[in-house]
Amino acid sequence: MSRSSRPRRLSASLAAAALALTSLSAATAYAAPLDDPTPGPLMNYVINTKASPGHVRKVEDAVKHAGGTVLSSYRQFGVVVAQSTNANFKVDVRAGRNGREVQSVGATRTAVVSEGASGLSSVDDTAATPVLDPRESEQWDMVQIKADQAHNVTDGSRRVLVGINDSGVDDTHPDLAPNFDARDSVSCIKNGVPDQTPGIWRPTTSPHGTHVAGTVAAARNGVGIVGVAPGVRIASVKVVNDDGFIYPEYSICGIVWAAEHHMDVTNHSYFIDPFQFWCKDNGDQGAVQEAVRRAYAWAADHGTLSVAAAGNSNYDLSNKTTDTTSPNDSTPVSRTIDNNCLDMPTELPGVITVASTTQARVKSSFSNFGLNKIDVAAPGSTILSTLPGGGYGTMSGTSMASPHVTGIAALLKSTHPSWGPRELERALQKEADDTACPTTPDARCTGTTANNSFYGEGIADALDAVHR
Ligand SMILES: [Ca+2]
Ligand SMILES: [Ca+2]
Ligand SMILES: [Ca+2]
């Protein structure tokens, strides 16, 4: 079953927060005299971002709102070169929208620019080509994993292909269409036999896969949101049938397809039905466990990394005792289980297991956990992303956490094209930000700050991924 709640309307408190944010940015925007800049000579300026590299895009935005034109942007070291005839440019660029991202600003010469205006468009067309996509400010998740900072270095490479192994992706969504690869998309929900009928990979009953896809790679295109890796390509590998089931043959078909089609990373925000835990000592379940294990191992050997949701049952994966929910396609029974029973694919060797955090950087109440079971954690509570039909909405679940890590893996693959699944796995673990157990004692959280049952190696970090 997929690992998320249904899309929800904005909660009252979140809506209030969004409103407050809107009025705040409107107030600061008006601080810059955009409509009536003081006319002055044509001058060129350098603007340094707060850190190096830094938030170059926000500084570009500040330049435009101060009546300037961006001439060059050096993402690598956080410097923007700009031109303006606003006599108060140096003041306005710090006082207006995103001005707080500016560390320092200086004119590059004392004489008027002799070579004339650059010919680049100025403030007039900023509405048509905004520096930030309209809803990026609502994406707290990207700030938590530092994807916003990582994008000053790279958005990811077109060479990298990510499989969204899920309920289908709406490739007509304006925020997904630019990055969608139809040629490598497929459906596996008829007996696990690949079907490439055009459009068969689209969603039919569930928005889940479209939401996951947006978190991985929604485009930087002036529309809606921006994903973790907006420069990479995505393909839909449909493995969830119209009743919400992912049978083993679907999941096997999907991972083999992904590897055969040279996908670098695949996201799996689901557990294989009908058993939440597949037990090795049971005839049917043992055989399935082995078949699925082989498929994922083969895919990893062929260069495809798998990232998977840890699950939404607030269950300790390192101390299994009971399962009351399986099989979920007939009549569930209550049974005693042990650690030889696996939640698949998340507990398979080499699969990155992702727990969920809230905006407060703590474990989401629903997130599964387990010492030496969780690899890393990422945002999964109230995540804004794309919905079928061109819309946007928030969803919650470890389903929403996993695609953040998939996106970081895609950035890592972009900056290290020679790396395979094992190198990517090690880097994801090593670069995660250590996150301690809660200060109020919680018996469920065991281990160290460096590696514990709630957050594994820590909260995943996109900035380190692009710096190594
Ligand atoms: Ca966008
Ligand atoms: Ca794992
Ligand atoms: Ca760690």
Weakest mean pLDDT among 112-126, 212-226, 297-311, 329-343: 112-126
Query: C-alpha angle 357/355/334, rounded to 5°?
Result: 120
Confidence of residue 253 (pLDDT cuts 50, 70, 90): very high
Q: What is the number of the ligand closest to the CA of 223?
A: 1
**pLDDT at position 13:** 40
| In the predicted structure, residue 120 carries a pLDDT above the cut 60 | no
Structure tokens belonging to residue 251: 């999941």
AA letter at 129: T
Sign of torsion over alpha carbons 8, 12, 17, 20:
positive
Q: What is the pTM of this model?
A: 0.78
Higher-scoring residue by pLDDT: 444, 31: 444
Averaged confidence pLDDT in the chain: 90
| In the predicted structure, residue 17 carries a pLDDT above the cut 50 | no
399 catalytic per annotation: yes
Percent of the chain beyond pLDDT 90?
80
DSSP string, 92-158: HHHHSTTGGGEEEEEES-SSPPTT-------GGGTTTS-SS-TTGGG-HHHHHTTHHHHTTT----T
* 163 in Cβ contact with 238 (< 8 Å): no
Task: Calculate the alpha carbon distances from 64 to 10, 235, 358 in Å.
Answer: 31, 36, 34
**pLDDT at position 37:** 79
Closest by alpha carbon to 164, among 254, 288, 44? 254
Ion ligand 2 — residues with CB < 5 Å: 353, 375
Number of neighbouring beta carbons within 10 Å of residue 138: 17
Percent of the chain beyond pLDDT 70?
90
Confidence of residue 129 (pLDDT cuts 50, 70, 90): very low
122 catalytic per annotation: no
Given 166, 171, 273, 375, which residue is catalytic?
166
| In the predicted structure, residue 132 carries a pLDDT above the cut 50 | yes
Distant-in-sequence, close-in-space partners of 287: CB < 8 Å, separation ≥ 6: none
**105: number of CA atoms within 13 Å, CB side?**
26
Q: Which structural domains are found in the chain, ordered by start?
A: 39-107 (3.30.70.330), 136-467 (3.40.50.200)
**pLDDT at position 119:** 61
Find the 385 Cα to ligand 1 centroid distance in Å. 10
Find the 283 Cα to ligand 2 centroid distance in Å. 25
Weakest mean pLDDT among 2-11, 121-130, 183-192, 201-210: 121-130
**pLDDT at position 53:** 74
| In the predicted structure, residue 454 carries a pLDDT above the cut 70 | yes
Find the 187 Cα to ligand 3 centroid distance in Å. 37
First to last CA, the chain: 36
* 16 in Cβ contact with 411 (< 8 Å): no
Q: Tally helices (H) and strands (E) across the chain.
A: 11, 17
| In the predicted structure, residue 5 carries a pLDDT above the cut 80 | no
pLDDT in tens, 46-103: 999 998 777 889 999 999 999 999 988 888 788 899 999 999 999 999 998 899 999 9
**pLDDT at position 181:** 98
